Structure formats: C-alpha cells, structure tokens
C-alpha cells in the first residue's frame, strides 16, 4: 500500500515539473502593399497584407479581420461597408503571411483598418497588429473646412467652411478628444438626411463651435466625418493646441 502511494506521488511530481507552453505567438513586419503606413485604394482595387508570425513551439492559425473605421471605431454607420474575415491554418514555428484581398466595387469611401492575430497549438493568442487603408471615390464629399490651430481654454473653437457632395448629404459627425486627459469634449452628429443639401455650411447649417473647458490644456484631436446618401464618407482630422 505504501509503495502504491509513493508511485502516485512520483507521477504527480513529474506532472508538476512539466511546464505548460504559455508563450504567445509574435507578429512582426505587418505591411499593406509593402508599406507600414496607411495606403489609398479605390473600389475594385486589389491589395496585399503581409507579415511574419513566429512561435516557440507550434503555430496553429492566423486571422485577418478587415472592417471600417468610419465612426472612430464604434462600427456604427449607415453605409455599404467593406468587411472581411479570413482565418487560415498554419504550422511550424515561423510563417510568412502574404494574403491578397480586393476592395468590393460598391465599397463606401472612407477609412478602414484590419487586425491580424495568431494562435499557437496551446491556444495562446498573439497581440493584435493593425494596418490601415483609405478607400477613395470620386463621388465622396469634399471638405473645405478651416480649423484654428490653437484656442484659449474657456473659449469656443469655431470651425468654418463647407462640405460639398456630388449627391445629397446625409450626416456630419464631429468629435473632439483631449489627448492629455482623454476626455471627449464633443461627440455630436448632425442629421441632414431630411434636407436636400449638397453643400453644408459649418456655421450657417451647423453652428459648429466646440466649447473648450477652462480646465483643459494641451493637444486636442478634431475629427469630422461627412457621409452622403450613397454611403460615401470623407474624414477630416486635425490636431489643435489648447493654451
């Protein structure tokens, strides 16, 4: 009886000494069309996504998830969105990713991004890696906006200029985020779907002024997105300084 107890104890000790694989795969050198920067594409155009994934023991699969970034990553928009998910099985300790995609002919213009993740045989997941691209259409709204480069805390940031579409405009979204505190200073949408406007004036139609709290200081990111009735988007971004 005592011998049996010793054998069981020995097996338990060996199991405890055997370390589980807890190292996640590593993704590197992620590029779109051989660039680490955002690229511009047109509906119907093909593009490539490449990178390298490695693991200490054995790889299992990778996943590429492409989706729009029209609403600052809230993923809510009345558009013809281009979305695609691709999952591929892989093996070995190193794999070169080289995948081809095609922007659909009816994809709305605007900013998109993709995430790449990888799993190993033990189920460990890599960090997400991102790539970005912008779909350009000759029919998307044109922004002629003027945003001051700086503003004094406690005052309003007044934005002037126009947004013009080749078809009737639908919505204008405005968001201002403090890069110092992370606070959202404004997150407004202006619905103009009921009006037959092909030109939207930031002051006449929107009275577009952003109140800047007296406690605010440092850089602020301004993001303005215009959408027409065909779902085409144009995004304007600018960084200002609050003094």
Determine the 3-state secondary structure of 55 from DSSP: coil
Q: Cβ distance 97 to 59 under 8 Å?
A: no
Of 121, 49, 54, which Cα lies nearest the Cα of 85? Answer: 49
The single-letter DSSP state of residue 57 is S
Helix (H) or strand (E) holding 201: strand 199-201
DSSP states along 115-148? EEEEEETT--BPPPEEEEEEE--TTS-EEEEE--
Q: Where in the chain is the domain with CATH 2.60.40.2550?
A: 142-242
Class of the CATH-defined domain 23-135: mainly beta
Helix (H) or strand (E) holding 58: none
d(CA 196, CA 165): 11
d(CA 240, CA 222): 7
**Residue with the two structure tokens 């993709």:** 114
3-47 pLDDT, tens digit each: 444 444 455 555 555 558 899 999 999 999 999 999 999 999 999
Class of the CATH-defined domain 142-242: mainly beta
The one-digit pLDDT tens for each residue of the chain (243 residues) are 444 444 444 555 555 555 588 999 999 999 999 999 999 999 999 999 999 999 999 999 999 999 987 654 444 444 467 899 999 999 999 999 999 999 998 888 888 999 999 999 999 999 999 999 999 888 889 999 999 999 999 999 999 999 999 889 999 999 999 998 898 999 998 888 788 899 999 999 988 999 999 999 999 999 999 989 888 888 888 999 999
224-241 pLDDT, tens digit each: 999 898 888 888 889 999
**Lateral strand order in the sheet of 150-151:** 150-151, 233-242, 218-228, 169-178, 184-191
Q: Cβ distance 139 to 232 under 8 Å?
A: yes
Burial class (CB within 10 angstroms; exposed 0-12, middle 13-18, buried 19+) of 176: buried
Q: Cβ distance 114 to 131 under 8 Å?
A: yes
Q: Is the pTM of this model over 0.85?
A: no
């Amino acid at each position: 009886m005592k011998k049996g107890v010793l054998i069981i104890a020995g097996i338990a000790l060996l199991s405890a000494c055997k370390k589980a694989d807890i190292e996640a795969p590593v993704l590197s050198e992620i590029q779109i069309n051989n660039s680490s920067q955002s690229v511009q594409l047109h509906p119907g155009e093909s593009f490539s996504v490449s990178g390298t994934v490695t693991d200490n023991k054995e790889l299992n699969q990778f996943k590429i998830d492409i989706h729009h970034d029209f609403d600052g990553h809230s993923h809510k928009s009345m558009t013809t969105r281009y979305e695609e998910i691709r999952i591929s099985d892989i093996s070995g300790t190193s794999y070169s990713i080289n995948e081809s995609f095609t922007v659909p002919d009816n994809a709305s213009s605007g900013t998109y991004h993709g995430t790449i993740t990888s799993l190993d045989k033990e189920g460990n997941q890599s960090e997400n890696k991102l790539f970005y691209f912008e779909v350009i259409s000759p029919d998307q709204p044109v922004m002629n906006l003027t945003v001051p480069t700086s503003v004094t805390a406690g005052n309003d940031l007044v934005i002037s200029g126009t947004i013009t579409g080749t078809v009737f405009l639908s919505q204008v979204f405005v968001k201002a985020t403090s890069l110092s505190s992370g606070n959202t200073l404004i997150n407004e949408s202006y619905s103009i779907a009921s009006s037959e406007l092909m030109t939207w004036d930031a002051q006449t139609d929107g009275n577009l002024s952003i109140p800047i709290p007296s406690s605010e200081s440092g850089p602020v990111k301004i993001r303005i997105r215009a959408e027409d009735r065909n779902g085409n988007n144009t995004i304007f971004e600018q960084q200002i300084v609050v003094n």
